[in-house]
Amino acid sequence: MPKVVDHEERRRELAGAVWRVITRDGVAHVSMRTVAAESGWSSGALRHYFATRDELLAFACEQVLTRVTARITALRPQGTPQEMVRALLLETMPVDSERHTEASITFAFLALGLGDPALAAVQRKILIGMSELCQNLTRHLLPDASPQQQLSAARRLNAMVDGLSVHVLAGHLTPAEAVAELDAHLTTVSP
């Protein structure tokens, strides 16, 4: 057997290069060449792990979902339900540098997926994951409410989190202001 490398590990490394290019120059500057240069590999080597640009982008986006869900499932329940909900949602919002990067990538893909059916599948995964998370959280926040009320509250919570995140990404809110408004919303949901 010849020299063999861990394909998944290498793909994760290359996805990291995609993230750096996106956060530095924007998603429009992501190309096989720029990512190859950013990663330090040749474009031919890059093509061994990602046959097309779309495949590269889709993997880089799914990797964000993987990381966020890993962080969320690693969180141990502690504190009141409200505190727990807050901690979980903050894992998805651009409150620090690392999460800012993840959120900006997610947002960039969301916009990209509006016009590209190939990326819309990944986009859909992320939206559904976030939506189900919100529904689970609302069930804990409002255990005595009707399913319709829970679903409505979950949808509004989901929209609020995404809206606040977008405003932080656009520099229109500071992370602290967004967290404060998340807290304010949570108190209106479950006093």
Whether residue 19 contacts residue 66, with contact meaning beta carbons closer than 8 Å, is answered with no
Residue 111: contacted member of a second copy, DNA, none (CB under 5 to 8 Å, by partner type)? a second copy
Whether residue 14 contacts residue 35, with contact meaning beta carbons closer than 8 Å, is answered with yes
Q: Say whether residue 133 binds a second copy (CB under 8 A).
A: no
Residue 166: contacted member of DNA, a second copy, none (CB under 5 to 8 Å, by partner type)? a second copy
Candidate list 36, 64, 95, 160; residue touching a second copy; CB under 8 A: 160
Residue 107: contacted member of a second copy, DNA, none (CB under 5 to 8 Å, by partner type)? a second copy
Could you tell me which residues come within 8 angstroms of residue 25 by beta carbon, excluding any fewer than 6 positions away?
34
Identity of the residue, 26 or 143, whose beta carbon is nearer to DNA in the bound complex: 26
Candidate list 27, 57, 89, 141; residue touching a second copy; CB under 8 A: 27
Whether residue 93 contacts residue 165, with contact meaning beta carbons closer than 8 Å, is answered with yes
Whether residue 54 contacts residue 15, with contact meaning beta carbons closer than 8 Å, is answered with no
Please state, in angstroms and rounded to a whole number, the distance separating the CA atoms of residues 35 and 15. Answer: 9
Candidate list 114, 118, 121, 176; residue touching a second copy; CB under 8 A: 114
Identity of the residue, 34 or 82, whose beta carbon is nearer to DNA in the bound complex: 34
Helix (H) or strand (E) holding 28, with range, is none
Residue 95: contacted member of DNA, a second copy, none (CB under 5 to 8 Å, by partner type)? none
